[in-house]
Amino acid sequence: MSGGDDATEQRQTDGDAPAVREEEAAAPGSGSFGGARAPGLVGGAAWTARELTGWARWSWRQLTSMRVALILLFLLALATVPGSLIPQRDANPVLVAEFKERHGTLGGLYDRFQLFDVYSSVWFSAVYILLFVSLAGCIVPRTLQFADQLRGRPPRAPRRLTRMPAYTAWRTGQAPEGVVEAAHGLLRRRRFRTSPAADGGSVAAEKGYLREAGNLLFHVALIVMLLAFAAGQLYRSEGGKLVMVGGGFANTLIQYDDFRSGALFDVDGLEPFHFDLDEFHASFHREGPDLGTPIDFRAEVTYWRAGDDDNEGRKATIRVNHPLTIGDAKVFLIGHGFAPLVTLRDGQGEVAFAGPVPFLPQDSALTSSGVIKVTDYTGPDGERDQLGFQGFFSPTFRLNAERGPHSSFPDPDDPVLTLTGYHGNLGLDSGIPQNVYQLNTRWMEQFTDDSGEPLRVNLRPGESWELPDGRGTLTFEGYERWASFQISTPAANGWALTGAVGAVLGLTASLLIQRRRIWVRAVPDPDGPPGSTLVEMASLGRAESAKIPEELADLAAALQDHAPPLPEAGRTGTGEAEESGTAEPTPEPEQEPEQEPEPEQEPEQEPEQEPGTAAGPSAEPSAGHREGAMP
Amino acid sequence: MILAAEAGLADVGKLLVYSAMAVYTVAFLAYIAEWTFGSRSKVARSAAALATAPEGGPAAGAGEPGGGVRVTVRAAGGGTRELTRPKVVTRSAAPGRDGIPDGPGAAGGDERGDTYGRIAVSLTVLAFLLHFGGVLLRGLAVQRAPWANMYEFSTTFSMVAVGGFLGFLAARRNVRWLGLPLVTTVLLDLGLAVTVLYSETDQLPPALQSVWLWIHVSLAIVCGAMFYLGMVATVAFLLRDRYEGRLADGGTPGRFAASVLERLPSSVSLDKFAYRINAVVFPLWTFTIIAGAIWAENAWGRYWGWDPKEVWSLITWLGYACYLHARATAGWRGRKAAYLAIAAFLCFLFNYYGVNMFVDDSLHSYADVDG
Ligand code: HEM
């Protein structure tokens, strides 16, 4: 990850100013950042400005530090939880209303804390916005740093290679220059970026830059995804429409039963098309353990796009999971049901109402409930009146004590319409918008039998109900089917997908590729026999991976082709040397795995140095970016 | 509709799952025997290593990849010559813990224990084959991907976990210690599957009829199973780390720790193993969520709708992201990161069992076309 660490490192370096200045702060008149306060108004203003910018910079560094990023990430995970446990207004307003009814005070409290709208709440937004600000503040410097590294060369070998996480050494009879040259060639062939030292005694190599690139790509992709998501919310639209078989829908605002759109959605931008629902097919399992569960739903439609000839529509089938895409819009099949066909003759024998009335399914066997409102009705005595009916449509009728009338199968094997009736005022002109699926019986009187019990009838197709007191007849003619559709106009989906693909690719590169450095040094060995050369190799990987020492072993084996070990020195490394007790050319292992400063401003640094360790910009991040190397 | 032949397949499939359970049970006993016999060995390597290795010093013999391995190097001329790879000395994350070697494994070097361990592994292979057959027949019987309800999901899930375990063994990873905890939970999982979760359902509701079922759900199962292995390793890491810590502080661990934890791989190895699994699976899990989003866009017209299943996938994802981040943040490595990984896995579990059972307001309940 190196690159990132530089950035973090740099931030860290001046980021701990407050701690550093604590002593100063103790002195009167001094600030955390501003230094001593010069007397007078100007001095005060300057001091305040210095203080403010100091604290602002400090806060920014905190915000963009790994630790705070981690905390924010964790907070985001926590903040996401309640929305899955408490009903959300956006997804299910009915459940929210029920919840509030059942738990009065708690409901109020939840409302106060926006717990019914978690994902658009102030606190949720605050967490993710902070996180993404932190992310942006993190990426920019890291990218610059990475670009620098790409331009630069791998850093020169540290003086003591033994301190590196993986190390090996042996003695050879070859001349140092030849060994270094061979190592250089070897590393280049293995596609390392290499940089031989000016003195010719060592070579440095680095590989796996794609890791940092992948990591940056991943983090940038997260931002792309967030922006795409936000744009999607702002520019999208979505609406529902219930269409009778034989009926149709045109994509204009007024035709929708319900419509939601993002704040920036342009209603005039609705994709111009219309479609007719020609047929609807539903099939269900008729036996076995899945009795009554759906097999397939199909809506056969004919649609026209703007400019299409009226006579020649295009045919299409819409199924669950297989929406119809028309331009920017997508038409989804989301539900279906029955609409009983009823004819109502009033007291005068005139047809006061005729037509299909969609009933809404209540269960998987399609027991459907609905209401019939007859506004234009004249009573037996010629008085104006209104009628309302409420009831159930059961495609396959069953009646039992426990559930009353209900359906036992979703296909219309034995369709029955069960109704109770009212007359009086439907309350439609009360000014309050009414749900077409609900009857307000406040100002209505129920039809009752002689003993005052409410009348309830079960009608089969073709049967009629003689309303009491000569109020007319209601005939259940049959039923039709309807299907409901959702018409969505998504926005920025392409961007979201691009971001997602980038995130996966970046992550894969970031997590699977190892970035590592390898140093080879060959110097005349003063302790060995005359003319012998000490070859040392070390590698430093970002993550602890077994592959990195293995690779070093591989490379060393390959290099030994050119620089065969001297027999008495054997193929030795420190470990074995210690075990065998033979005198070895390797320096003593250090007690402290601290690395020495590298010659260049070098990245391989812990993403976050413990505060205070880096005293200033000149304090070189030690090469010990390895986890084990933390002081 | 189930044809008679298919019903027969389904029954045979279920029978295979029952047989697998029987064999897993025997394997379980064999693992127990391995651990029991292994407890007689009193080698106490960790303590010895801690006693000899100076704090922070790179200790000899610690995780030397390629150390002393013979490799054959092909010379340019076509001839080959044997050469021993140079020894590489490594240092790792926890200074002072470097020198601690991996435990000897459940058998603890005991010969009888080792025999039982081999028997246990062989039985696990057999059980896995039966298990696999059970899942396969189920798929053939219902003529679709065999992972559309909780029964199918659970059987496939544990099958993949065992498959992963055997795969690691085949790759010569030091994972035999995983056998006992794994088989125990597999038995629990299968027990639940054939009783509480069993479902005859053979057909897919229309909402699930999509190629994305194959992609999204199978990936989710693979991720879950591998995350599970990672989680077991993480728990083992925490235990072993505490044990090593106590030894390093000069304390004497309890008898259980001394006997059982001593035989586990070192905390450094366990941590690496868990990290590697989680790091490899995380991009896959990311892709799983994205595949789900694409499917949701196809089925419901929006790729993200804060549905409880989606939310918990995200929480799981954030959990693992926290874990990976923590490992790159000073002061958060080791135990703290491990706790995060465990929390993330619990989120994954909750998503599969919890959300299905306790959160009913989910589109993912597949009840109806409206769903
Ligand atoms: C939306 C929030 C974020 C998510 C989901 C996220 C996720 C991740 C993941 C999964 C990794 C592991 C990949 C790897 O190890 O290479 C990672 C690495 C990293 N992230 Fe983030 N990150 C987020 C925000 C940030 C922020 C705000 C920063 C800046 C402080 C940051 C800096 C880093 C760095 C430096 C690494 C490299 C660590 C390493 O290589 O081990 N990330 N991030």
Contacts of A172 (CB under 8 A, 6+ apart): A179, A522, A532, A533, A535, A560, A563, A564, A565, A566
Please tell me the distance from the alpha carbon of residue A388 to that of residue A423, in angstroms, as a whole number: 6
Q: Which two tokens stand for residue A72?
A: 């924010």
Q: What are phi and psi of A393, to 5 degrees?
A: -115, 125
Judged against a pLDDT cut of 70, whether residue B183 lies above it is answered with yes
Could you identify the residue written with the tokens 């590489």?
Answer: B88
The predicted structure's pLDDT at residue B32? 93
pLDDT the model gives residue A604: 38
Question: Residue of the nearest CA to atom 16 in ligand 1?
Answer: A510
Rounded distance from Cα A73 to ligand 1 centre (Å):
10
How many angstroms separate the CA atoms of B53 and A589, rounded?
Answer: 12
What is the SS3 assignment for B327?
Answer: coil
What's the pLDDT band for A529 if we cut at 50, 70, 90?
confident
Is the Cβ atom of A64 under 6 angstroms away from ligand 1?
A: yes
Q: Which residue has the tokens 């319409």?
A: A417
Cβ contact B83–A558 (<8 Å): no
Give DSSP secondary structure letters for A278-303.
EEEEEEE--SSTTTT-EEEEEEEEEE
Listed residue (B112, B154, B144) closest to B162, CA to CA: B154
Q: Residue B212 and residue A142: Cα distance in Å, rounded?
A: 37
**Residue of B182, B173, B193 lying closest to B124 (CA atoms):** B182
Q: Using 50, 70 and 90 to split pLDDT, how confident is the model at A432?
A: low
Nearest residue CA, atom 19 of ligand 1?
Answer: B325
Spatial contact of A43 and A37, defined as CB atoms under 8 Å apart: yes
Q: Is A216 in the pocket of ligand 1 (CB under 6 A)?
A: no
Mutation target for A interface from B87, B310, B317, B325: give the one with most A CBs within 10 A.
Answer: B87
pLDDT category of residue A269 using cuts at 50, 70 and 90: confident
The C-alpha of B53 sits at a distance from chain A's nearest C-alpha, in angstroms, of 11
SS3 A324: strand
Crossing angle (nearest 10°) for helices A209-235 and A493-512: 160
Q: How many CB atoms lie under 10 A from the CB of residue A306?
A: 11
Give distance in angstroms: CA of A622 to centre of ligand 1: 22
Distance A146 CA to ligand 1 centre (A): 15
B269-292 pLDDT, tens digit per residue, is 899 899 999 999 999 999 999 999
**In what helix (H) or strand (E) does residue A522 lie, and over which residues does it extend?**
strand A516-524
Chain B: residue whose CA lies nearest to A85: B359
The protein residue whose alpha carbon is closest to atom 7 in ligand 1 is B321
Identify the CA nearest to A584 among candidates B161, B87, B334: B87
pLDDT, residue A354, reads: 92
Other residues' Cβ atoms within 10 Å of the Cβ of residue A112: 8
Confidence of residue A29 (pLDDT cuts 50, 70, 90): low
What DSSP state is assigned to residue A416?
E
What is the four-CA torsion angle of A45, A47, A53, A55, rounded to 10 degrees? -130
Asked if residue A205 lies in contact with residue A154, where contact means CB atoms within 8 angstroms, the answer is yes
d(CA A426, CA A435): 12
The reported pLDDT for the residue numbered B74 is 38
Judged against a pLDDT cut of 50, whether residue A585 lies above it is answered with no
Q: How many CB pairs under 8 A join A and B?
A: 279
Name which residue leads in pLDDT, A275 or A601: A275
Closest CA to A206 of A518, A510, A514: A518
Q: Are B279 and A297 an interchain contact pair (Cβ–Cβ within 8 Å)? A: no
Give burial (CB, 10 Å; 0-12/13-18/19+) of B26.
middle
Report chain A's terminal Cα–Cα distance, integer Å: 19
Q: Which 3-state string (H, E, C) describes A455-520?
A: CCEEECCCCEEECHHHCCEEEEEEEEEEEEEEEEECCCHHHHHHHHHHHHHHHHHHHHCCCEEEEE
Rounded Cα distance between B337 and A315, Å, is 57
pLDDT digits (tens, 9 = 90+) for A297-330: 999 999 998 887 777 889 999 998 889 999 889 9
Whether residue A520 has its Cβ less than 6 Å from ligand 1: no
Q: What is the pLDDT of residues A110-148, one digit of tens each?
A: 888 889 999 989 999 999 999 999 999 989 999 999 999
How far away is chain B from the Cα of A364, in angstroms, using its nearest Cα? 6
Tell me if A378 sits within 8 A of A385, measured CB to CB: yes
Residue A539 distance to chain B (closest CA, Å):
10
**Ligand 1 in reach of A418 Cβ (< 6 A):** no
Q: Where are the alpha helices (DSSP H) in A513-624?
A: 547-562, 574-580
Interface test with A, best of B88, B311, B364 (most A CBs within 10 A): B88
C-alpha span between B296 and A46 (Å, rounded): 57
Q: Do A166 and B88 touch (CB under 8 A)?
A: yes
Residue type at position A491: A
Phi, psi of A539 (to 5 degrees): -135, 155
Full-model pTM: 0.80
Q: Which residues pair with A488 in a beta bridge?
A: A238, A330
CB contact under 8 A, A294 and B206: yes
CA distance A456 to A450: 13
Pocket lining: A223 vs ligand 1, CB cutoff 6 Å: no
Rounded to 5°, angle at Cα A351 from A345 and A355: 100
CB-CB under 8 Å, A84 with B308:
yes
Best residue in B72, B81, B91, B210 for a mutation probing chain A (most A CBs within 10 Å): B91
- Backbone φ and ψ of A155, nearest 5°: -70, 150
CA distance A471 to A533: 116
ipTM, 2 decimals?
A: 0.85
Q: A533 pLDDT exceeds 50?
A: yes
B207, B371 Cβ separation under 8 angstroms: yes
The tokens 């997590």 sit on which residue? Answer: A511
Write out chain A residues lying below 8 Å of B318, CB-based.
Answer: 73-74, 76-77, 80
